[in-house]
Amino acid sequence: MAEQEQGAELPKLTRLDAASILMMSLGEADAAQILKHMGPKEVHRIGTSMANLHNITQDQVEAVMIDFLEEVGRQTGMGVGSDDYIKNMLNEALGEDKASSLIDRILVGGNTTGLDTLKWMDGRAVAELIRYEHPQIQAIVVSYLEPDQSAEVLAILDDKVRLDVMMRVASLDTVQPQALAELNNILEKQFSGSSNTTTSKIGGVKCAADIMNFMDTSVEGDLMDSIKEIDADLGTEIEDLMFVFDNLKDVDDRGIQTLLREVSSEVLIIALKGADTELQEKIFGNMSKRAAELLRDDLEAKGPVKVSEVESAQKDILTIARRLADSGEIVLGGSGEEMM
């Protein structure tokens, strides 16, 4: 957990903060070369972090550089991954003029297909693009996107359309490669990229559950009620596969400790205002005695917090938890014993 150290010591930086400082220290040209090898979600996170960096000292920059060189010295190679989307954050971090050419280079990268290009778009833009398509096409697109982006797209669609699409997502299993390729080719008429789509297994109940995890609580609750009215068993199956904040009780101690290193004190305090005693005690038990005492004091001193703020903080922590699970650093066990 990133927290302010006592005395004259520098604030502890998260790994994301350190990566952002490193990127900003490299300069635009070198940073652009690195970003080319990242996926949308990594670029989104780095861009957001860069935009939020303030008052970084020379000592902190030097410390990041030293840690980076030491880490490289211990490895024989550096791995890069891929995931979700960005655009607006790069504009905010680098300015519209500087970001435009960088975004263009990334968006027309050698392996970007028509469907993949959607992952770089704002959720509202994707929703407008598919608004008048057949619900089955909408379901395929929503299934293909990352769950957080899919949730954003669905939140913009009308209630009836949202329900229809989610029911279709849950019932999807495989899509004929030819049909997926045709959809991809249609999109590529509007976007640059190659035509190497081979994925045909998308959608399903787990996909629906992942998308529901990222929806606002009010939207998710109404949608779940509507699903259960149509198919109670399906609604229950989706619920069993959803991972909610309370399910952090099922994460082992090492996983909780890893998660806490990535979460800021302020976000944790707000999130725990809405947690039961059992989960609070699990968090306290995975901190040093001194840190746990400080957190307890902060919780008591915080006072009333809006439910919307608590839900937002909890979703922020769950987003970090899912990222750590995707990278294999922790294991999340949902109520349905499904490993994410």
E-strand ranges in 85-221 read none
User: Rounded mean pLDDT of 287-293?
Assistant: 91
CA-to-CA separations, 316 to 64, 82, 313, in angstroms, rounded? 25, 20, 5
Nearest to 253 by CA among 289, 287, 290, 280: 287
Task: Please give the structure tokens belonging to residue 174.
Answer: 């495989």
What percentage of the chain reaches a pLDDT higher than 70? 74
Other C-beta atoms closer than 10 Å to the C-beta of 210 total 23
- Indicate whether 154 and 168 sit together in one domain: yes
- Indicate whether 117 and 235 sit together in one domain: yes
> What's 1-66 look like in SS3?
CECCCCCCCCCCCCHHHHHHHHHHHHCHHHHHHHHCCCCHHHHHHHHHHHHHCCCCCHHHHHHHHH
Check residues 193 and 255 and name the one with the higher pLDDT. 255
What percentage of the chain reaches a pLDDT higher than 90? 13
- Indicate whether 8 and 103 sit together in one domain: yes
- Indicate whether 231 and 285 sit together in one domain: no
Range of the structural domain that residue 90 is part of: 1-107
Whole-number pLDDT of residue 111:
46
pLDDT at 42 over 60: yes
- Indicate whether 95 and 196 sit together in one domain: no
pLDDT at 112 over 70: no
pTM of the model: 0.47
Task: Give the domain-ending residue among 52, 83, 107.
Answer: 107
Distance of CA 182 to the CA centre of its chain: 29
Other C-beta atoms closer than 10 Å to the C-beta of 326 total 14
Task: Give the domain-ending residue among 107, 124, 155.
Answer: 107
- Indicate whether 145 and 98 sit together in one domain: no
pLDDT band for position 325 (cuts 50, 70, 90): confident
- Indicate whether 102 and 177 sit together in one domain: no
Residue at 337 is within a domain: no
Other C-beta atoms closer than 10 Å to the C-beta of 281 total 13
Task: Give the domain-ending residue among 107, 126, 150.
Answer: 107
CATH code of residue 236: 1.10.220.30
Check residues 19 and 84 and name the one with the higher pLDDT. 19
pLDDT at 151 over 70: yes
Residue at 44 is within a domain: yes
Whole-number pLDDT of residue 82:
34
Whole-number pLDDT of residue 323:
83
- Indicate whether 214 and 135 sit together in one domain: yes
Residue at 251 is within a domain: yes
pLDDT band for position 121 (cuts 50, 70, 90): confident
pLDDT band for position 134 (cuts 50, 70, 90): confident
Residue at 332 is within a domain: no
Whole-number pLDDT of residue 101:
46
- Indicate whether 230 and 290 sit together in one domain: no
Residue at 260 is within a domain: yes
Whole-number pLDDT of residue 38:
76
The mean-pLDDT minimum among 65-79, 225-239, 255-269, 282-296 falls in 65-79
Residue at 340 is within a domain: no
The mean-pLDDT minimum among 111-115, 176-180, 322-326 falls in 111-115
pLDDT band for position 268 (cuts 50, 70, 90): very high
How many independent structural domains does the chain possess?
3
- Indicate whether 221 and 119 sit together in one domain: yes
- Indicate whether 276 and 168 sit together in one domain: no
pLDDT at 198 over 60: no
